[in-house]
Amino acid sequence: MSQIINQRSLLTLLMYMLCAKFLIVPVLDWQNQAVIDIKGKNKQLQKMKTLVIGRDIFAEAAKVSGLKLSYLQDTLFKDTRSLKLEAQTELLGIITNNGISVRNFNWVTDSSNSPRILRAKVAYSGTMKQCIQMFWDISMSPRMIQVIGSRQQVKSFKGDALGSIEGSMTLEVYALEEMQVANDLSASEGEGSE
């Protein structure tokens, strides 16, 4: 009789184990997988919330960049076929505005990158006062013009006169493609309006 009770208890235990293996374990595995999926989706949701919150910040940064590019468009030359002629005309206008005579004007370098950088070597002569005014006018120009280097030789210096100057300088001007600025501006405005 004890053998029958033993067999019954073993069969019952076997039935419980089979139920656990084929019913409970799959349900627990399914639950664990569902919890892992929910955690992954929650992380994705948090990332998306961060992007949505940051969208306004990114749109504002793009707007500021667009304004800076707009400002640069006004201070830089436009990269066109007649760039050298336009830049040379404007530079010579600034230099000769105060009576300085230009002896020589040569384009030294011209980069093909964007922004395009042009360097010009200018030889000039005039009085000390005219030379000082010329450098002032270059620095106050609405265009971005940089004096890379300059050399002056003072002549006829007297106690009551500043004298005359013969000198040369290397100027650098910058040009940006108009389409590039316009595209960057329209892209930043398009993002901000959505």
Whether the pLDDT of residue 192 is over 90: the answer is: no
Whether the pLDDT of residue 179 is over 60: the answer is: no
Any residues with CB less than 8 A from the CB of 60 and at least 6 apart, and which? Answer: 192
Mean pLDDT calculated for residue range 117-140: 92
β-pairing verdict for 164-176 and 77-78: parallel
Mean pLDDT calculated for residue range 48-54: 83
Out of 20-24, 35-39, 139-143, least confident range: 20-24
Instruction: Enumerate the domain spans of the chain.
Output: 1-75, 79-177
Other beta carbons less than 10 A from residue 76's beta carbon: 20
Mean pLDDT calculated for residue range 64-81: 78
Whether the pLDDT of residue 43 is over 70: the answer is: yes
Mean pLDDT calculated for residue range 96-113: 90
Q: Report pLDDT for 193.
A: 47
Whether the pLDDT of residue 49 is over 70: the answer is: yes
Q: Report pLDDT for 159.
A: 65
Whether the pLDDT of residue 183 is over 60: the answer is: no
Any residues with CB less than 8 A from the CB of 114 and at least 6 apart, and which? Answer: 79, 176, 177, 180
Q: CB–CB of 114/180 below 8 Å? A: yes
Q: Report pLDDT for 143.
A: 87
Q: Report pLDDT for 194.
A: 46
Q: Report pLDDT for 41.
A: 92
Most confident of 16-25, 46-55, 86-95, 173-182: 86-95
Q: What's 79-177's CATH class?
A: alpha beta
Structure confidence at residue 189 as a pLDDT band (50, 70, 90): low
Q: Report pLDDT for 26.
A: 85
